[in-house]
Structure 1
Amino acid sequence: MARTTVDRPPIPREIRVLIAAAFIIAIGFGIIAPVLPQYAQSFNASATAVSAVVSAFGLTRLLFAPLSGRATSRFGETPTYMTGVLIVAASMFLVAFSQDYWQLLVFRGLGGIGSTLFTVSAMAFLARRSPPTIRGRVSGAYASAFLVGNIAGPVIGSLLAVFGHRVPFLIYGTSLVLAAGLVFVLLRDSRLADRGRPDARPEMRLAEAWDNHSYRAALTSFFANGWATFGVRNSLTPLLAATAFTGAGLWLDGPQVAGAALSLFAAGNIAAVTFSSRLSDVHGRKPLIITGLLVAAAGTAALGWVQDVWAFLALCVLAGAGTGLLNAPQQAAVTDIVGQDRKAGPVMSTAQMAADLGAISGPLLAGLVVDAAGFGWAFALTGGILAVGAASWAFAPETNLPVRPGGPRTGALPTVSPAPPPEHRPGAG
Structure 2
Amino acid sequence: MRFARFRRASSPASAARPRLSRDAYVLGVIAFFVMVGFGVVIPVLPVYARSFGVGYIEVGAIISAFALMRFVASPFVGRMIDWGGERTILTIGIGIVAASSGLVGIAQDYPQLLLLRGAGGVGSAMFSVSAMTLLLGAVPSLRARSIGFYQGGFLIGGMAGPALGGLLATISLTAPFFFYAGTLAVAGLVGLVLLRPRTVRGGDAAAESAPPIRFREVLRDRGFRVACAANFSQGWTSFGVRGALIPLLVVEVLREPTVFTGIAFACAAVAQTLALAPAARFVDTVGRRPAIIGAFAVAAATIAVVPFAPNIWVLTALLCIYGVAAAFMGTAPAAAVGDAAGPKGGRPVAVFSMFADFGAIIGPLVAGYLADTVSYPVAFAVGGMLLLATSLYATRMPGGVPAQK
Above 0.5 in TM-score? yes
Give the helix-richer structure, 1 or 2.
2
Contact 1:205 1:346 in 2 (8 A): no
1:84-103 → structure 2 map (5 Å cutoff)? 84-98=93-107, 102-103=111-112
1:412 match:
403
From 20, 27, 41, the counterpart of 1:11:
20
Which string of whole-angstrom CA distances, capped at 9 and with x for unpartnered residues, describes residues 221-272 of structure 1?
01111222255444444455466667x4xxxx42x33432332332222122
Task: Give the structure 2 partner of residue 143 of structure 1.
Answer: 151
Is 1:207 aligned to 2:216, yes or no? yes
**Deviation at 1:82?**
0.6
1:421 aligns with none
Q: Select between 58-67 and 33-42 the one with higher mean Cα deviation.
A: 33-42
Structure-2 separation of matches of 1:326 and 1:7: 29
Amino acid corresponding to residue 353 of structure 1 in structure 2? M
Moved more, 177-186 or 29-38: 29-38
The residue number in structure 2 matching 1:389 is 390
The AA in structure 1 aligned to 2:318 is L
- Equivalent residues in 2 for 1:119-268 (5 A)? 119-128=128-137, 130-158=138-166, 160-163=168-171, 165-187=173-195, 190=197, 193=200, 200-241=209-250, 248=256, 253-254=257-258, 256-268=259-271
SS in 1 for 2:396: coil
Q: Pick closer, same or farther for the CA change 1:257–1:387 going to 2, 3 Å.
A: same
Corresponding position: 1:288 with 2:279: no
- Alignment match, 1:350: 351
For 1:38 and 1:374, how far apart are their aligned partners in 2?
Answer: 28
Q: Do 2:240 and 2:366's aligned partners in 1 also have CA atoms closer than 8 Å? A: no
Whole-angstrom CA distance in 2 between matches of 1:382 and 1:97: 38
Query: Shift in Å at residue 278 of structure 1?
Result: 0.5
For the residues of structure 2 that align with 1:376 and 1:97, how far apart are their CA atoms?
42
- In structure 2, what is the Cα distance between the partners aligned to 1:291 and 1:348? 24
Deviation track 1:392-429 (CA, whole Å, cap 9, x = no partner) reads: 2122223x53xxxxxxxxx3343xxxxxxxxxxxxxxx
- 1:275 paired residue number: 278
1:384 CA drift (Å): 2.1
The secondary structure found in structure 2 opposite 1:11 is: coil
Aligned partners of 2:300 and 2:387 also within 8 Å? yes
Corresponding position of 1:32: 41
Partner of 2:3: none
Partner of 2:368: 367
Following the alignment from structure 1 to structure 2, what is the Cα–Cα distance between the partners of residues 78 and 58? 23
**Structure 2: runs of 5+ lacking an equivalent:** 1-7
Segment of structure 1 superposing worse, 329-338 or 227-236: 227-236
Q: How far 1:375 moved relative to its partner?
A: 4.2
Question: Could you give the per-residue CA deviations for residues 156-203 of structure 1, whole angstroms, max 9, x where no partner exists?
Answer: 33455544544333322221111001112223x547858xx9x74312
Corresponding residue pairs, total? 390
- Aligned-partner residue type, residue 357 of structure 1: F
Task: Provide the TM-score with structure 2 as the length reference.
Answer: 0.86
Distance 1:245 1:289, change over 3 A: same
Q: For residues 328-343 of structure 1, what are the structure 2 equivalents within 5 Å?
A: 328-340=331-343, 343=344
Query: Given residue 167 of structure 1, which amino acid in structure 2 is its aligned partner?
Result: A
Q: Does residue 326 of structure 1 match 2:329?
A: yes
Secondary structure of the 1:412 match is: coil
Judge conservation of contact 2:28–2:150 (CA < 8 Å) in 1: yes
Q: Is the contact made by 2:297 and 2:388 (CA closer than 8 Å) also made in structure 1?
A: yes
Which amino acid in 2 is paired with 1:362? G
State the Cα deviation string for residues 271-322 of structure 1 (Å, max 9, x = none): 2212010111111111111222122222323334435222232222222222
Question: SS of 1:393's equivalent?
Answer: helix
Secondary structure of 2:212's partner?
coil
- AA aligned to 2:119 is L
Partners of 1:156 and 1:104 in 2: how far apart? Answer: 22
Matched to 1:355, the amino acid is A
Letter in 2 for 1:351: F
| Matching of residue 116 in structure 1 with residue 125 in structure 2 | yes
CA RMSD of aligned residues (A): 2.8
- Equivalent AA in structure 1 for residue 361 of structure 2: I
* Structure 2 residue identity aligned to 1:19: G
Cα deviation for residue 6 of structure 1 reads 5.1
Corresponding residue of 2:5: none
Contact preservation (8 Å) 2:24, 2:149: no
Provide the rounded CA distance (Å) in 1 between the counterparts of 2:306 and 2:171.
30
Q: Which amino acid aligns with 1:147?
A: L
**How far has the Cα of 1:93 moved from its partner?**
2.3
